[in-house]
Structure 1
């Protein structure tokens, strides 16, 4: 049985592998000497209990008035030494997380360490999130090969903290990535707190996604992949993501037009009824609601499918032609094989 969880940050991620704690209260230092090196298992446990439960780094008001918190939290895999913990930074808003990025621990921990100053790890990828699934599905397209020199022209609509963009830019530096985000404060947050980098291979454009798609069609542009992760208020429509404006016939037609035969369209999907999921029966009904998106997208794409990404999110992906089975579409295996040449590369596995 599932339980009501919407008021609990534990359930935002529903972490089966990690102890996830958030507590913004002031804490009592465990050591009088804050520069004292943390070495023993006991000291790490004390530091975890007092300093790293959760640290609110920033509070942001988005352009539309939505409040958003940037929080650093500890993920602790079960049955693994505390010395193996992973610090992650999340953006939370309205009871859900918008983005995440890894943080690189200092070589020597002390209580004086402030996580907001830790370096960013753009390669940290949580396997049980829809970000992981969207990235992995990208390689079902005939245009993308799972290799370091993989290129291709990618459009992402809805930036958030840039989780997908930053990962792709770091792991596949030859990709040509354009991100479109309507909210200026969200872009500032991604740059300041989530390590978003912009260069010749990655750019961010502040614009309305629907308008950008229409303008791109008029210009005769094309992309090898379009990734949609733009949502709206829960009470505005049946789906929180994608936003209802992207489900209009002319918008879907523009998306399909911008993709060549080998192109792929991938969308995050979250239904507004997720708050009502409290039993297995509710979950079954909830799951069936996503078929609506398949029907909508199938009006402009020949092949559309959906995959469950986590407990509540699904990922819908569409192509003009049948995807050809590949030997290499597993991001986890690829990163493990290339860890020696990709600095910081790791995936946090969804396992006990």
Structure 2
């Protein structure tokens, strides 16, 4: 199947040769799609096995040879692993593989912004990608109201086709520029309890690959109880991290980083909150255990390290 797909997308694969290990991923390819808005950008959907786990990921030709979104595939006992079979396997929305994403999803529980008793918390996600974070939050019993913003419509097509992303009355996806969306929401008076930003440059830029430039200004964020940002750097220049967190300290009473370096990645997670309950860090992990549903712990080991 992968040979057929690659032959059908010769131009995208030529682009991928610039940045992706063809020998490593060629036999894992389920689909190839070209971005509708970014020049010379292509997305590879890959199914692969690591140990006893079966995974689906998205690889960009402009980034490293590491899937940007990784979801858990539910293997059927009577089927062997190959691309034809895995194409029909369901996504397990409870399982998280990326350490930085684990830190992102638990951050609102650390700060006390989301609790079991809070019905329909309002969540904004900028940078849906494969929809792994959105899918995870849709499993919560308190039925959060989720709005996902993604700038590239092709990414939403991939998320719906390959990652089980579904819209509902409590979950909507909009194809928009995230910065402009936030500005419009501020003018209209709409507010969210939690705001996730997982948006990176399409190509390496300065010392921070994520977030994108538009989200580094403190005046764009207001009326949020908890802000959670994936911060990525290939250079680990401390001054870049410090400049970013100092910017948000102007708007939020409590700001800190969570480390995601356990996966040997370039990610940290910035957490900023105006929740008055988020003053005692020693209580943070206790709040996670108290408010996360049991099934979340059945599928994940959560590792929290304050920076």
TM-score, length of structure 1 as denominator length: 0.69
Contact 1:100 1:194 in 2 (8 A): no
Per the TM alignment, residue 321 of structure 1 is displaced from its structure 2 partner at its CA by 4.3
Per the TM alignment, residue 271 of structure 1 is displaced from its structure 2 partner at its CA by 1.7
Per the TM alignment, residue 288 of structure 1 is displaced from its structure 2 partner at its CA by 5.3
Residue 187 (1) aligns with residue 156 (2): yes
Per the TM alignment, residue 150 of structure 1 is displaced from its structure 2 partner at its CA by 5.0
Instruction: State how far apart, in whole Å, the 2-side matches of 1:169 and 1:97 are.
Output: 22
Per the TM alignment, residue 302 of structure 1 is displaced from its structure 2 partner at its CA by 2.3
1:329 to 265, 283, 288: 288
Instruction: State how far apart, in whole Å, the 2-side matches of 1:142 and 1:167 are.
Output: 18
Per the TM alignment, residue 172 of structure 1 is displaced from its structure 2 partner at its CA by 3.9
Residue 119 (1) aligns with residue 90 (2): yes
Q: CA RMSD in A?
A: 2.7
Contact 1:103 1:119 in 2 (8 A): yes
Taking a change above 3 Å as real, the CA distance of residues 149 and 294 of structure 1, as seen in their structure-2 partners, is closer
Taking a change above 3 Å as real, the CA distance of residues 102 and 173 of structure 1, as seen in their structure-2 partners, is farther
* Runs of 5+ consecutive residues of structure 2 not aligned to the other structure: 1-18
Tell which structure's C-alpha radius of gyration is larger.
Answer: 1
Contact 1:155 1:226 in 2 (8 A): yes
**1:347 corresponds to:** 300
Taking a change above 3 Å as real, the CA distance of residues 91 and 111 of structure 1, as seen in their structure-2 partners, is closer
Contact 2:112 2:287 in 1 (8 A): no
Taking a change above 3 Å as real, the CA distance of residues 303 and 149 of structure 1, as seen in their structure-2 partners, is closer
Per the TM alignment, residue 91 of structure 1 is displaced from its structure 2 partner at its CA by 0.5
Instruction: State how far apart, in whole Å, the 2-side matches of 1:91 and 1:227 are.
Output: 20
Instruction: State how far apart, in whole Å, the 2-side matches of 1:289 and 1:245 are.
Output: 15
**1:29 corresponds to:** none
* Runs of 5+ consecutive residues of structure 1 not aligned to the other structure: 1-6, 10-20, 26-54, 77-84, 274-284
Per the TM alignment, residue 143 of structure 1 is displaced from its structure 2 partner at its CA by 3.0
**2:178 corresponds to:** 209
Taking a change above 3 Å as real, the CA distance of residues 108 and 139 of structure 1, as seen in their structure-2 partners, is same
Per the TM alignment, residue 192 of structure 1 is displaced from its structure 2 partner at its CA by 0.6
Instruction: State how far apart, in whole Å, the 2-side matches of 1:269 and 1:210 are.
Output: 16
Show CA shifts across 1:25-75 (max 9, x none). Answer: 4xxxxxxxxxxxxxxxxxxxxxxxxxxxxx211111112131111111112
TM-score, length of structure 2 as denominator length: 0.79
- Equivalent residue runs for 1:1-352 within 5 Å: 22-25=24-27, 55-63=28-36, 64-65=38-39, 66-76=41-51, 85-93=52-60, 94-95=63-64, 96-110=66-80, 114-126=85-97, 129-145=99-115, 147=116, 151-172=120-141, 174-248=143-217, 252-256=218-222, 258-259=223-224, 263-273=225-235, 286-287=237-238, 289-310=240-261, 311=264, 312-322=266-276, 323-324=278-279, 325-326=283-284, 327-330=286-289, 334=292, 337-338=294-295, 346-347=299-300
Structure (1/2) with the larger helix percentage: 2
- Secondary structure class of the residue paired with 2:111: coil
Show CA shifts across 1:215-252 (max 9, x none). Answer: 1011110000100011113343332110011113xxx3
Per the TM alignment, residue 304 of structure 1 is displaced from its structure 2 partner at its CA by 1.1
Instruction: State how far apart, in whole Å, the 1-side matches of 2:54 and 2:117 are.
Output: 26
